[in-house]
Structure 1
Amino acid sequence: MWDQRYATEEYVYGTEPNAFLAEAVADLKPPGRVLCLAEGEGRNAVFLAQRGFDVLAVDASGVGLAKAEVLARQRGVRIATEIADLDGYSIEPGAWDLIVSIFCHLPAAMRRRLHAQVAQGLRPGGRLILEAYTPAQLAFGTGGPPDATLMVTLPSLRTELPGLRFEWARECERDVHEGRLHSGRGAVVQLIASRPEGA
């Protein structure tokens, strides 16, 4: 499905970064190693590379990641890419300064397994930046999966990310204008969480 969605010259989610991510990383210094989950066509990975981060973009779609590499070349930066199904993906423990999950919508059991690895994958002091649609998004119909079970809530994140300190966490409505497929008012959960030093 994702290969078919990305098989166009158009960047269906745009080429500019997710607005919440761009704001959240504004004060992150120095840049470090970043893992971008379900990165698709690369807009967030390329943005982070432009800011000096060492980025690995992971996605199940080779078509999407090929477009990510094109975008990186156009912007004069380099990113690493890895084609992988997140259902069986292993995150290296204690390896990442930043993990990014933007509109990564997975079945609940798969998401719980992945989030447990995310919590362990951060270095002490490392951060997770996440934005996803909540089930309330179904009333807007402006993007995201048409299935509430694939969406995320703040209470579920609190149970799925053990050991992380939630620095910023909220469910809210905001205007999302990120390409043709994310366009209009949306209901989202936003999270910045960190692994405590010494953890």
Structure 2
Amino acid sequence: MWNERFSGKDYVFGTEPAAFLRRAEPYLKAGQTALAVADGEGRNSVWLAEQGLAVTAFDFAPNGLAKGRALAKARGVEVDFQLGDITQWDWDGAAFDVVAAIFIQFVGPDLRAQIFDGLRRALKPGGLLLLHGYAPRQVGYGTGGPGVVENMYTVPMLAEAFDGFEILRLEDYDAEIDEGVGHSGKSALVDLIARKP
């Protein structure tokens, strides 16, 4: 489904990063290593590379990766794009200073727990987790996301899932977003910026 969705000429979620990433910019430093999880068409990984980070990005849709490579070339940055399935990614293969997981809510609670464990393992000690997604009321807004309440985030859920991390930002809020045809309009969002001990 995703490979087909990314097959068109236009970028489904646009070419600019999620607004959440721009808000996280003060925590980022040039030279850090970063992993962009299920990065789609590359808008977030390319922006991280533009900030001077050494970025690895993976997605399981070859069409998305091709568009990410084209975007990186157009912006004059390098990203190590890799074909990979989030359910089979080698979370222990490398440790990163930053792990960005933005709108990865296409999995249910059981698999989500496995992926959250992977995100923790992929971070170096002191590494920064950037996790951004939708709150349950997003289903009623219908402006993006999977439309499945069980896949959404809540503040208590993320606080429990990343217990022991230093929470730098954990907030549930509504905002108007304009991220291509895929994310557009009033949205119920949850941000987590947290540092691994």
- What are the ranges of 5 or more consecutive residues in structure 2 without an aligned counterpart? none
The match for 1:82 is 82
Q: Following TM superposition, by how much is the alpha carbon of 1:62 offset from its aligned partner in structure 2, in angstroms?
A: 1.0
The match for 1:121 is 122
Q: How does 1:4-43 map to 2 (within 5 A)?
A: 4-43=4-43
Could you tell me how far apart the structure 2 residues matched to 1:147 and 1:192 are?
A: 24
State the secondary structure of the residue aligned to 2:180: coil
Q: Following TM superposition, by how much is the alpha carbon of 1:27 offset from its aligned partner in structure 2, in angstroms?
A: 4.3
The match for 1:186 is 187
Q: How does 1:162-173 map to 2 (within 5 A)?
A: 162-173=163-174
- Give the partner amino acid of 2:173: C
- Percent identical across equivalent pairs? 38
CA contact (8 A) 1:119 1:164 kept: no
CA contact (8 A) 1:119 1:162 kept: no
Q: Following TM superposition, by how much is the alpha carbon of 1:29 offset from its aligned partner in structure 2, in angstroms?
A: 2.1
C-alpha distance after superposition, 1:38-71 (max 9, x if no partner): 1000001001111111111111111101100000
- Of residues 143-152 and 10-19 in structure 1, the stretch that sits farther from structure 2 once superposed is 143-152
- What are the ranges of 5 or more consecutive residues in structure 1 without an aligned counterpart? none
- Give the partner amino acid of 1:65: L
Q: Structure 1: which 4+ aligned runs deviate by more than 6 Å?
A: none
State the secondary structure of the residue aligned to 1:25: helix
Could you tell me how far apart the structure 2 residues matched to 1:148 and 1:175 are?
A: 20
The match for 1:147 is 148
Q: Following TM superposition, by how much is the alpha carbon of 1:97 offset from its aligned partner in structure 2, in angstroms?
A: 0.3
Could you tell me how far apart the structure 2 residues matched to 1:16 and 1:86 are?
A: 23
Could you tell me how far apart the structure 2 residues matched to 1:160 and 1:84 are?
A: 24
- Give the partner amino acid of 1:139: G
* Residue 53 of structure 2 corresponds to residue 53 of structure 1: yes
Could you tell me how far apart the structure 1 residues matched to 2:132 and 2:167 are?
A: 13
CA contact (8 A) 1:94 1:120 kept: no
Could you tell me how far apart the structure 1 residues matched to 2:143 and 2:39 are?
A: 20
- Of residues 48-57 and 112-121 in structure 1, the stretch that sits farther from structure 2 once superposed is 112-121
Task: Calculate the TM-score normalised by the size of structure 1.
Answer: 0.94
C-alpha distance after superposition, 1:7-54 (max 9, x if no partner): 000001000011111120234224311000110000010011111111
Could you tell me how far apart the structure 1 residues matched to 2:90 and 2:165 are?
A: 19
Task: Calculate the TM-score normalised by the size of structure 2.
Answer: 0.94
Could you tell me how far apart the structure 2 residues matched to 1:93 and 1:194 are?
A: 20
- Give the partner amino acid of 1:132: G
Question: How well do the aligned residues superpose, as a CA RMSD in angstroms?
Answer: 1.4
Could you tell me how far apart the structure 2 residues matched to 1:151 and 1:27 are?
A: 25
- Give the partner amino acid of 1:44: N
Could you tell me how far apart the structure 1 residues matched to 2:7 and 2:46 are?
A: 19
Q: Following TM superposition, by how much is the alpha carbon of 1:94 offset from its aligned partner in structure 2, in angstroms?
A: 7.0
CA contact (8 A) 2:29 2:53 kept: no
